[in-house]
């Protein structure tokens, strides 16, 4: 029962490098989202998707791109990494976008940009 799977778990990047954080879910959830977790700031929404082919910006979208070509996958792309993007990234999915449904989280990706 995999749930939400994120890869990689850890990554170190040099400033200016690009990379993609992968997120996959096997629960056929329509809604997926990306958060970053920083000390003292909680979880902040980066981008989200309400279904395949539909994405929208969250609270802190700058520097990140997303796409949703399938229901299962929701990759997060950093086009040109900056030290300010050092953070722990969480992907989440839920069967409905809002309401009293549970969000399921991945185990997180710890990213360091040097």
Partner 1 sequence: AQRVTQPEKLLSVFKGAPVELKCNYSYSGSPELFWYVQYSRQRLQLLLRHISRESIKGFTADLNKGETSFHLKKPFAQEEDSAMYYCALSVFNTDKLIFGTGTRLQVFP
Examine residue 108 and tell whether it contacts partner 1 (CB under 8 A). Answer: yes
3-state secondary structure of 75: coil
Nearer to partner 1, 31 or 81 (CB): 31
Residue 6: CB atoms within 10 A of its CB come to: 20
Exposed/middle/buried for residue 4 (C-beta within 10 Å: 0-12, 13-18, 19+)? buried
Q: Which listed residue (80, 102, 112, 114) binds partner 1 by CB under 8 A? A: 102
Q: How far apart are CA 56 and CA 33, in angstroms?
A: 10
Q: Give the shortest CB-61-to-partner 1 separation in angstroms.
A: 13
Nearer to partner 1, 19 or 88 (CB): 88
Nearer to partner 1, 45 or 52 (CB): 45
Site for partner 1 in 15-74 (CB under 8 A): 31, 33, 35, 40-45, 48, 50, 56, 58
- Residue 81 vs residues 45, 51, 58, 64: alpha-carbon distances, Å: 18, 27, 19, 9
Q: Give the shortest CB-101-to-partner 1 separation in angstroms.
A: 8
């Amino acid at each position: 029962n995999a749930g939400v799977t994120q890869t990689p778990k850890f990554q170190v990047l040099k400033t200016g490098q690009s990379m993609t954080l992968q997120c996959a879910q096997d629960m056929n959830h329509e809604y997926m989202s990306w958060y970053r977790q920083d000390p003292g700031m909680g979880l902040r929404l980066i981008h989200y998707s309400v279904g395949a082919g539909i994405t929208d910006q969250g609270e802190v979208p700058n520097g990140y791109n997303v796409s949703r070509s399938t229901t299962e996958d929701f990759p997060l792309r950093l086009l040109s990494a900056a030290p300010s993007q050092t953070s722990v990234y969480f992907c989440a999915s839920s069967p409905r976008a809002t309401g009293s449904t549970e969000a399921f989280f991945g185990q997180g990706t710890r990213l360091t940009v040097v």
